Amino acid sequence: MRIYFDNASTTPLLPAVKDAMKAVIDDCYGNPSSIHLHGRKARIIVEEARKVIARILNASTGEIFFTSGATEANNMVLMASVRDLGVQRIISTNVEHHCILHMLDHLEQTSGTKVEYLKVDGQGHIKLETLAQLLKQDDAKTLVSVMHVNNELGTQTDITAVSKLCQEHGALFHSDTAQSVGKIPIDLQEIKINFLCGASHKFFGPKGVGFVYINGDNMIKPLFHGGDQERGMRSGTENIYGIAGMSKALELALIEMDDRKKKITELRDYFIGKLRTELEDIKINSPDSSLHNILSVSFPESSKSEMLMMNLDIMGISASSGSACSSGVENDSHVLEAIGHDPKRKTVRFSFSHMNTLEEVDYVVDKLKSISAVAV
């Protein structure tokens, strides 16, 4: 028996997505830039996918650009905002994904960009009043880069409130929505966001493909140079199989969003109840308001908990550690450090999908009891 509780890391391809990709692989091998029939067929697939994503986000098709994933999209936005839009200061948080944090380090070192970090509370929330104060303090052109949902804790940021603050103070707003797209609604006509990024493999689509939304009022120059693909914004022959799979996956995510959320929430709540009933000294790091599919759980220090992740894997359970190993020394991740987590405790991030079952939860809790040495 193998149980997959690591859906925040990546998700499996849904059968319908595989079928959509296979149809394109079998019947459409033309280059979308070619003007002959094969090329035109490929171009139609790309543009139909763009329409789907634009419709789901309530954006214009001209504001959606395909990328290799969220890392490329986020890097493109941050670098180009400094290079092309005159951004001199970026306000972000200390719990962002490394594709944001590492690019911010790079911009500080190479362009002299001023970077300021919002600290978070014990559940990963930023303080909006602190953001407002920072925006007031400096007249330099500013970009606020705040993720919608934290990938380790599931903590949700009120991006509507952040957007309003940015508008009040004339700042640009960028959000990494890799964990939220396809799971909770995002309406870009209701929320003013200048840049938004997503990745297909987070919502049951293929790996190696994603998108960036660039508001039409803030056009930037390309990160790559070559052909005129993506209206000159992103050179390189389009990944038509991946793009077709991504649009199908996001379309299904929208149709099934409420049903998936209901099932996952019930499963997550059941898991929390079992953990608290059958194990001692369990700490839930994720806030009650966290995204329904992510649950960060902290276990007390013990001789058995030292090998917790390895033992889970041996027992057929795939989950993620809340730690990052460096040179053989295990330390808390930057997210856990930011919320003041006790590094002696061992953290596991369990992340669920609508394909998981209550029986799988029972199995996982039973195995945790046998290896954590904190069973009731």
- Active-site positions read 325
Taking the C-alpha atoms of residue 288 and residue 271, their distance in angstroms, rounded to an integer, is 14
Do residues 181 and 192 make contact, with C-beta atoms less than 8 angstroms apart? Answer: no
Tokens, residue 249: 């996956």
**Up-side HSE of residue 222: CA atoms within 13 Å toward CB?**
16
Q: Which residues contact 293 (CB under 8 A, 6 or more apart)?
A: 7, 8, 154, 183, 264, 268, 351, 352, 353
User: CA–CA separation, 265 vs 269, rounded Å?
Assistant: 6
Cα angle, residue 60 at apex, residues 27 and 198 outer, rounded to 5°? 70
Residues near 69 by beta carbon (within 8 Å), at least 6 away in sequence: 199, 200, 201, 207, 208, 209, 210
Phi first, then psi: what are they for 324, rounded to 5°? Answer: -125, 130
